[in-house]
Amino acid sequence: MEKSIDEIKRNYSSLVLAYLGDSFYETLAREYVISDGNCLVSELNVRIKKYITAVSQSKISAILLPHFNEAETWFFKNGRNAKNTHHSRSAEAVEYRRATGLECVFGYLYLSEKIDRARELFTIAVSELDKQES
């Protein structure tokens, strides 16, 4: 059932949205890395790290921020600024916070059933990330 932006803001903390968004975002990333066809799972695990680590998600958030609409920007900032006691060992605190903001956006998109928008943003991110690495 699609939830309104006000209902999501009222009923879900930024960290809960990030928790959900992490799963949804990783599903999009997994779909993307297997889109080239069958390969070894160990290879998939190597390829997916380009998209799902906190450091990668921090880079992706910088790519996507200019593409966010007003609501997505609101959720990103709230997720980024959420008080979280968890810290990543492989990322700086600022990178981890930006990754949390990105996950919060994807949690919002999932709950509001804006799956096409989530796929659009993910495609923009992957395309730009791949360009930067070329």
Catalytic residues: 22
For residue 102, which of 67, 66, 72, 129 has the smallest C-alpha distance? 72
Up-side HSE of residue 105: CA atoms within 13 Å toward CB?
Answer: 28
Is residue 85 classed as helix, strand or coil in its secondary structure? coil
Instruction: Classify residue 82 by its DSSP letter.
Output: S
Distances (CA, A) of 82 to 99, 103, 120, 124, 133: 12, 12, 25, 25, 30
